[in-house]
Amino acid sequence: MLDTTIAGSLPKPAWLAEPEKLWAAWRLGGEELERAKERAARFWLEAQERAGIDVLTDGEQFRVHFVHGFLESLEGIDWQKKTRMGIRNDRYFVDVPTVTAKVARTRSVHTSEVKFTRAQTSRKLKFTLPGPMTICDTIADGFYGRRADLAMAFADVLNEEARELEALGVDTIQLDEPAFNVFLSDVKEWGIEALHRATAGLKCTTAVHICYGYGIDANIQWKKTLGSEWRQYEEIFPALNQSRIDQVSLEAANSRVPPALMRLLKDKQLMVGVIDVATQEVESAEQVQARIEAALEHVDAARLLPCTNCGLAPLPQAVAVGKLEALGMGAALARQRLGIR
């Protein structure tokens, strides 16, 4: 009970990529780069184990970008044809690649890194993939015409990948859907259906991560416009509670999400964010314990997984290590108080 986990990403060590920068380019190449990514993943797996985290990730050390890391090996995408696009409903403008033909997966994308990671730890392993709606919001469509159709095409290739990763011993496949908090009616119209397609046939635990984004300035400014209560989850949680996805994440640490919204997911396991990713201040174990206990007013301990609000990638390494430790210790204190484990 109260198994701890993280949203997914962790900082890249300074010898691998420029620190405290999202999507920084690799410092190395070729075989040297592959070994360096493994070293970085091993560092973070050990750090999570030491911190007492129960469900581990590779910290996304093998990819530069959480969406493009998957897309890079697919067919049907023209990386030279850049389209200027406002993403997350115009929260940022970026030059994105363009889908110019039917998307297809011609080879495994993450197999070798998952084999490596699986061999490093006997704890539960979670692997994160970008969700279909978030992919559609991070790439231009010059072929399918309807966003829902594009999403289903990506869902099918994600499903091929997810089945392979499950067979390698991944315990949880998580789809990252920050776009779910932005396109609320699309979630109900086709977003959840796309998740079902991406996870069809999986026997492992399935999860969806829905957040208010990394702790970067564009997101911090956006949050200021959302008013005194953030009620986006209220629109989508009832539909997610009806879905076949096992776990749903939500931001709770220093957020304006009304905690009672957790009650809308009464049939799901909840990854509750008890670690803020938008501040470099490291939480105390007692602070984390208090946040877990506040969540326990709305969700029973058997369904609660203390988690981070979002990825820790943009933070300094020492801060991220501190936050992992706070998460592990805070959960231990909460279990002690409940007399479990």
Residues of this chain that interact with Zn ion (CB under 5 A) are 211, 310
Neighbour-count burial of 116, counting CB atoms closer than 10 A to its CB (0-12 exposed, 13-18 middle, 19+ buried): middle
Closest contact distance (angstroms) between CB of 127 and Zn ion is: 15
Rg of the chain in Å (alpha carbons): 19
Q: Are 272 and 305 in contact (CB under 8 A)?
A: yes
CA dist 299 and 266 (Å) reads 7
Cβ nearer to Zn ion, comparing 154 with 214: 214
The separation between CA 281 and the C-alpha centre of its own chain, rounded to angstroms, equals: 21
Which strands, in side-by-side order, build the sheet including 74-87? 74-87, 92-105, 140-141
**Closer residue to Zn ion in complex, CB, 179/211:** 211
> Least Å distance between CB 211 and Zn ion?
3
Nearest distance, CB of residue 112 and Zn ion, angstroms: 25
Residue 254 CB, shortest distance to Zn ion, in Å, is 14
- Continuous segment of H or E residues that includes residue 45: helix 30-51
Residue 279: what residue type? T
| In the complex, least distance from residue 23 CB atom to Zn ion, rounded to whole angstroms | 14
CB of 35 to Zn ion, least distance (A): 29
Q: By C-beta, is 289 or 308 nearer to Zn ion?
A: 308
Residue 125 or residue 310: which is nearer to Zn ion going by CB? 310
CA nearest to 265, candidates 291, 304, 237: 237
**CB of 2 within 8 A of CB of 292?**
yes
Nearer to Zn ion, 103 or 327 (CB): 327
- Which amino acid does the sequence have at 168? L
Residues 327, 51 contacting (CB under 8 angstroms): yes
